């Protein structure tokens, strides 16, 4: 088995006996994402999402492979397992949830997801954010450096930087509008106060599985084996703080006040049917350097994922309106694949650990229907985005909720989704 090959757990005719699982937009039996949840009045434990329910894997650990790792309160030990052991676990869970003969034994360990609290799935040792969305890099680059939007290194180096692990929170935890330094163009000196240009960024998150020893790079051909799964990531960004602070060492307080992730880890195994050949590089672009080239990555390295952003303002909430979509686009707008960013990250010997999180950077489409931030949609705040009911936004307002979603689909397979990555903005303190 290799990372892009499918098996009977992906079979679209496989169904589950769990109510509401079959046809579920996010969590049919073909998905089986891992997470950490607390049932009502219970402690945090490892579970798997199935339809609108959560199966308590800790309670069933003795009947499953990798039982020791299932008894932890974080997924790090599960992530650290060899790919083959995670695959055996997936098969066992898929069998358990499809075999009606054993349903009576399993049902006591199912919880209604709506009654449970979801936590960060892993202890995040280090968090790294990349910049692989080439349309985003172009759009933002044009605003910060009109003459020079895409720097000369972009098509050679999968640009990345270290972010803050401590302030990553699961979907649902509100975000306090940060204070910070900003320098209005007309002012002689900066002022300190609440950010007035608070933005979201639509990103894919990548959970590292098994790590590498310090000093030992991960060859591109082995990079996929170090990926445990995926999530959504909202890299909240204070654009006014960012513009003033980011030179010469990169973004810092503009982004480290909070990041929001979707709590379910959609496994690399679940994503096997949703692998695509990399789109060809535009005419005239250089080939990747050899340490970033791999035939399997070229054939199967991209992801058949559609990403979208919605907003629910306070006024919409009062009216009882549904969230409104701001943009939608494909993850194939990544200039570098997940395998390439993993191999690049470890190419100097930097050690990755189970539970490390990588962000792809904002994934925008070439046109505004798929722009992944308000900075792009509002052209840097110059063109307000119209919303229903007469509202408009250049940046996010207090009380706004931003909701990221993702779904994977491929001909002949059952679509799966990531669940929500959602948070509301609270006023500055």
Q: Is the peptide bond before 129 cis (omega within 30 degrees of 0)?
A: no
Task: Please tell me whether 362 is known to bind a ligand.
Answer: yes
The answer to whether the annotation marks 183 as part of a ligand binding site is: no
320's CB contacts (< 8 A; 6+ apart) are: none
C-alpha 175/C-alpha 241 separation (Å) is 16
Q: Which of 15, 103, 196, 252 binds a second copy (CB under 8 A)?
A: 252
Distance CA 131, CA 4 (A): 24
Q: Check whether 203 is labelled as a binding-site residue.
A: yes
CB of 50 closer than 8 Å to CB of 14: no
Q: Does 221 bind a second copy (CB under 8 A)?
A: no
Determine if 14 is a binding residue for a second copy (CB under 8 A). Answer: no
242 is in an annotated binding site: yes
Q: Which one of the listed residues 72, 136, 226, 345 is annotated catalytic? A: 136
Q: Is 164 in the site for a second copy (CB under 8 A)?
A: yes
- Is residue 384 close enough to count as binding a second copy by CB under 8 A? no
Nearest to 29 by CA among 53, 61, 45: 53
Query: By CB under 8 A, is residue 263 in contact with a second copy?
Result: no
CB of 31 to a second copy, least distance (A): 30
CA dihedral 38, 257, 399, 182 (to 10 degrees): 180
- Is 289 an interacting residue with respect to a second copy (CB under 8 A)? yes
Residue among 103, 179, 314, 324 that touches a second copy (CB under 8 A): 179
Q: How far is the CB of 87 from a second copy (least distance, A)?
A: 26
Q: Does 413 bind a second copy (CB under 8 A)?
A: no
Least Å distance between CB 157 and a second copy?
5
- Compute the least distance from the CB of residue 400 to a second copy, in Å: 17
Exactly one of 146, 166, 282, 283 binds a second copy (CB under 8 A); that residue is 166
Q: Is 136 a catalytic residue?
A: yes
Which stretch, 79-87, 245-253, 365-373, 397-405, contacts a second copy (CB under 8 A)?
Answer: 245-253
245 assigned to a ligand binding site: no
Q: Is 56 annotated as a binding residue?
A: no
107 or 214: whose CB is closer to a second copy? 214
199 is in an annotated binding site: no
Asked if 345 and 156 count as a contact pair (C-beta separation under 8 A), the reply is no
Q: Is 145 annotated as a binding residue?
A: yes
Is the distance from CB of 120 to CB of 262 less than 8 angstroms? no
What is the three-class DSSP state of 381?
coil
How far apart are alpha carbons 36 and 75 in whole angstroms? 7
DSSP notation for 332-369: GGBSS-HHHHHHHHHTT-PPP-TT-EEE------SSGG
Check residue 225 and report its DSSP letter: G
Using rule CB under 8 A, residue 143 touches a second copy = no
Draw the binding track, 63-92, toward a second copy (x: CB under 8 A; -: no contact): ------------------------------
Among positions 38, 117, 167, 196, the unique one binding a second copy when judged by CB under 8 A:
167
- The 3-state DSSP class for residue 311 equals strand
DSSP H helical ranges for 247-347:
295-300, 314-319, 338-346
Span near a second copy by CB under 8 A; candidates 41-49, 122-130, 199-207, 299-307: 122-130
Q: What are phi and psi of 135, to 5 degrees?
A: -70, -40
| Dihedral over alpha carbons 334, 339, 344, 345 (to 10 degrees) | 100
Name the residues that contact a second copy, by CB under 8 A. 125-126, 128, 131, 141, 144-145, 151, 153, 156-157, 159-167, 169, 176, 178-181, 183, 189-192, 214-217, 238, 241, 244-253, 256-258, 286, 289-291, 344-345, 347-353, 356, 429
Known catalytic residues are: 136
């Amino acid at each position: 088995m290799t990372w892009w090959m499918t098996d009977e757990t992906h079979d679209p005719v496989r169904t589950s006996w769990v109510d509401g699982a079959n046809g579920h937009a996010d969590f049919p039996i073909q998905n089986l994402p891992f997470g950490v949840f607390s049932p009502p009045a219970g402690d945090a434990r490892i579970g798997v999402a199935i339809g609108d329910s959560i199966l308590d894997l800790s309670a069933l650990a003795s009947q499953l492979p990798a039982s020791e790792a299932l008894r932890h309160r974080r997924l790090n030990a599960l992530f650290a397992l060899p790919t083959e052991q995670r695959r055996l676990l997936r098969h066992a869970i898929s069998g358990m949830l499809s075999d009606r003969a054993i349903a009576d034994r399993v049902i006591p360990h199912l919880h209604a997801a709506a009654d449970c609290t979801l936590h960060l799935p892993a202890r995040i040792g280090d968090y790294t954010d990349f910049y692989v969305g080439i349309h985003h890099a172009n759009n933002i680059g044009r605003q910060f450096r009109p003459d020079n939007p895409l720097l000369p290194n972009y098509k050679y180096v999968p640009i990345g930087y270290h972010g803050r692990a401590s302030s990553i929170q699961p979907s649902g935890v509100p975000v306090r509008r940060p204070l910070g330094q900003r320098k209005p163009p007309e002012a002689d000196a900066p002022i300190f106060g609440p950010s007035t240009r608070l933005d979201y960024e639509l990103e894919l998150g990548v959970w590292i599985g098994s790590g590498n020893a310090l000093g030992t790079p991960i060859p591109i051909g082995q990079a996929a084996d170090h990926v445990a799964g995926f999530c959504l990531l909202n890299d909240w960004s204070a654009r006014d703080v960012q513009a003033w602070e980011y030179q010469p060492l990169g973004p810092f307080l503009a982004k480290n006040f909070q990041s929001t992730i979707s709590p379910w880890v959609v496994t690399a195994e679940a994503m096997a049917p949703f692998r695509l050949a990399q789109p060809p590089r535009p005419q005239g672009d250089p080939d990747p350097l050899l340490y970033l080239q791999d035939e399997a990555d070229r054939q199967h390295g991209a992801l058949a994922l559609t990403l979208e952003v919605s907003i629910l303002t306070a006024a919409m909430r009062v009216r009882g309106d549904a969230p409104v979509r701001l943009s939608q686009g494909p993850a194939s707008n990544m200039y570098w694949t997940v395998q390439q960013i993993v191999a690049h990250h470890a190419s100097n010997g930097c050690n990755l650990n189970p539970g490390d999180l990588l962000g792809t950077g904002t994934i925008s489409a070439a046109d505004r229907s798929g722009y992944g931030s308000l900075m792009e949609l509002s052209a840097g705040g110059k063109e307000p985005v119209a919303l229903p009911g007469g509202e408009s936004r250049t940046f996010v307002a207090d009380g706004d909720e931003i909701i990221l979603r993702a779904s994977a689909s491929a001909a002949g397979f059952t679509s799966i989704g990531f669940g929500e990555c959602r948070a509301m903005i609270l006023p500055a303190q």
